[in-house]
Amino acid sequence: MIENELIGPIPENPAEALANWRPIRERIHERFGRAGSEQERVALLTLYCSTMNMAEKAIGPGEQEKFREIRGHGYSLLVVRECLNGDRLSAEKARVVLAREMESGRMARDHVLTNPRELARLSAEYIHTQQLLKQHEAEKGGWLARLFSWLHR
């Protein structure tokens, strides 16, 4: 493993990627939410793809379909998050992000997110899930947290 300034240790070979892809994926997703620039988000997307590429090389044939599903979902989630402007999908951001991702080779031209309806659907699902998580956190915090949550709606 080598040290990365964004997320800490990252794999140097497929065996290390296979053994560590889940925690690396979690760290990338966590850090993505705090990324302060497009350059940082691009670096995290690149790390995500390279780690998953290495891990896929080491995964057995019986597990590859499930792995690819998880990998695709994780990548799509990162892209959707970048296309949001607060609680709304930004068509302009989406256009820029999708073009950048296709140009870099990380996204295929026929990727599900290139369909505007699918992008809108996945964005709405993500936003709804985040709202439910916030509501759940507020309910765990007692009456005062619920009051503040209600006031911020």
Tell me the pLDDT tens digit for each residue of 20-50.
Answer: 899 999 999 999 999 989 999 999 999 999 9
Total of domains in the chain:
1
| Residue 21, H or E segment | helix 14-32
Closest CA to 112 of 81, 88, 80, 90: 80
Lowest mean per-residue pLDDT among 79-83, 126-130, 142-146:
142-146
Quick one: pLDDT at residue 132?
83
Sole residue written with tokens 């402007």: 85
Where in the sequence is the domain holding 92, given as residue range(s)? 2-115
Question: What is the identity of the amino acid at 8?
Answer: G
Mean pLDDT for the stretch of residues 129-141? 76
The pTM of this model reads 0.82
User: What mean pLDDT comes out for the span 74-98?
Assistant: 95
What residues are paired with 9 via a beta bridge? 3
Distance CA 61, CA 126 (A): 31
**Does 153 fall in a domain?**
no
Residue 132 lies in a domain: no
75 domain residue, yes or no? yes
150 belongs to a structural domain: no
Question: Is 12 within a domain?
Answer: yes
**Contact assessment for residue 127 and residue 84, using Cβ atoms and an 8 Å cutoff:** yes
User: What average pLDDT does this structure show over 91-97?
Assistant: 96
* 61 found inside a domain: yes
Beta partners for 8? Answer: 4
Task: Tell whether 133 is covered by a domain.
Answer: no
- The answer to the question of residue 120 being in a domain is no
**pLDDT greater than 70 at residue 144:** no
